[in-house]
Amino acid sequence: MRGGEVTRAARGGAVWATGLVVAGEICMDAGAALAVLVFPTVGPVAMVMMRLVFSALVLLVLTRPRVRGYARGDWGAVIGYGTVLATMNALFYLALDRLPLGVTVTIEVLGPLVLSIVASRRASAWLWAVLAFAGVLCLGGGGWDRLDPLGAAFALGAAASWAFYILAAARVGRTFPKLDGLALAMAFGAVLSLPFGIISAGATLIRPEVLGLGAAVALLSSTIPYALELIALRRIPAPAFAILMSMSPATAAVAGFVLLGQRLVPLQLAGIALVVVAGIGAVRSGVAQAAASRPRRAGAARRVRPGVAGSAASAPPGPATGSVTVPGTMVADPTGPLAVLNGPLTGPIQTLPMTDLEEPFAEPLA
């Protein structure tokens, strides 16, 4: 195949992959919209329970995680991970019961965005922080009193939970292979949510149509987007994927208008746009930071092993293996543990740690 044909094929694959990512986001937003429509029947707490239960069943069947050979501390990390996962989903749905979809998603995404900005060492990161803060102020449509205060508090709690989720997921991911840790944590979160869901909805939960809607929400919000994103990640770079995911608040606002009839005032739309720009800027800043750090690491490696023929330090770099990640950004990891089966940004989300810092965000968000 000639060079021009290869280029055209690559571009065609990138366009197709971009369409898959957009389709995945549409599925996630449709799942959130469907959940809102089910709230009058079972309530947001029971909806969270059904989503966690069905998602956990799918993950356990697909991964069949190993449960032997782990220390008590490892299981403690899984329990913490599952607790944060259940809390994050519950707060998101409680916010969604009181706020428009686009507003809820925009506030929630501030969790990983702020975490990424704080961990960044670039001065430009604070520009994105200012833009994000301005966007949040605009979400009130000229005054936060126009938003349900409890709903806004739930959304902010979901944002904070997402930040803690990222850190907890990174801890579990260092011990459990592939999606095993996520599957076990999801199962624990499902068990944790069972009594709250049963108390909230009671016998309504055993109605076939309600169970079917709960399964549909889990598939639309988690399973289908995850599959589409895995396919897309074989055709587009992880930074490009992260930028597409940063636009989720905008797609959520469109879904809220089309599927739920939720109208936003121009100032709120401007706020969503500012948060999207801040997210894209943070991603690009992380890419630039990673690119700038590579020459320094390469130079350090040469100084450690100077002139050793055939050594790993002097050998040319081979092809990358494992997941592709970028410091300080939200990227998808097709095999890692940070597949965020939560909220509008669900899908395999991971944030890359920076190599010279210990915390996972010293380097996400999923």
Residue 358 inside a domain? The answer is no
pLDDT of residue 353: 40
Q: What 3-state class would DSSP assign to 348? A: strand
168 CB burial (10 A radius; 0-12, 13-18, 19+): buried
* 334 within domain boundaries: yes
What is d(CA 80, CA 77) in angstroms, rounded to the nearest whole number?
5
pLDDT for the residue numbered 59: 86
Does 312 map to a domain? Answer: no
Do the domain assignments include residue 366?
Answer: no
Domain that holds residue 346: 3-300+322-351
**3-class DSSP assignment, residue 93:** helix
Considering the domain boundaries, does residue 230 fall inside one? yes
Per-position b or e across 285-303, b if 16+ CB within 10 A of its CB: bbbebbeeeeeeeeeeeee
Cα(49)–Cα(54) distance, integer angstroms: 9
The reported pLDDT for the residue numbered 199 is 93
Q: What is the pLDDT along the chain (366 residues), one digit of tens a residue?
A: 555 554 555 555 667 777 888 888 889 889 999 999 999 999 999 999 999 999 899 989 988 998 888 898 889 999 999 999 999 999 999 999 999 998 888 888 888 777 776 766 666 667 777 887 788 777 766 555 567 889 999 999 998 888 888 788 888 888 888 788 888 999 999 999 999 999 998 888 989 999 999 999 998 988 788 778 777 777 777 666 667 777 788 888 888 888 898 888 888 888 888 888 877 777 666 656 655 655 555 555 445 444 444 433 334 434 333 333 333 333 333 333 333 333 333 333 343 443 333 333 222 333
Say how many domains are in the chain. 1
pLDDT computed for residue 7 by the predictor = 59
Is residue 316 included in any domain, yes or no?
no
Is 124 inside a domain boundary?
A: yes
Tally the C-alpha atoms within 13 A of residue 71's C-alpha that lie toward its C-beta. Answer: 5
Q: Is residue 267 part of a domain?
A: yes
Residues in the chain: 366
What does the pLDDT read at residue 38? 92
